[in-house]
Amino acid sequence: MIWMISGAPGAEDADGCFVVDTATELGTTDTAVRQRIEGAFEVTRDSLRNVLRRGRPAGELPADLDIDAAVESLFTTVLGLRVRERAGHDTARLITAIDFAIGSLAPARNAGDLGFLCGERRPGNHSCDNAIP
């Protein structure tokens, strides 16, 4: 999930997220802006939803996982992480939060089994610092 916060490996630094910046500054004051922000946010939600839907049939997530609730939880985490990244917080601390969020999806399993969220399997290493799904 770190790629959702800091961008693709090797990409130029983006100095934060324009959508998050706009949402916090103008999101409630202008209907047109709010609609565009929600559209951009829905792209992120859809990406998370697609990844989670792939993980459940593969047995990497509990069969009874509430996908919609998990999407909202991860989406909120992503937004918070984008703000923290913009504020210059240490990447290692952001990865700790990501690992916890991913691990909470399947508490009975090892978070390292949830490599599909990173786009690859990395046994024993459950931080997603270099992967893009």
**What pLDDT, in 10s, does the model give residues 27-42?**
677 788 888 888 888 9
The confidence score (pLDDT) of residue 87 equals: 86
The confidence score (pLDDT) of residue 116 equals: 53
Q: Which of 119, 109, 124 is nearest to 62 (CA)?
A: 109
Q: Which single residue is written with the structure tokens 């290493």?
A: 125
Q: What is the pLDDT of residues 88-126, one digit of tens each?
A: 899 899 999 988 998 888 755 554 555 555 544 333 443
The mean pLDDT value of the chain amounts to 74
Q: How far is CA 65 from CA 31, 74, 78, 105, 128, in A?
A: 34, 13, 19, 8, 21
Q: How far apart are CA 11 and CA 98, in angstroms?
A: 20
Q: Which two tokens stand for residue 18?
A: 């324009």
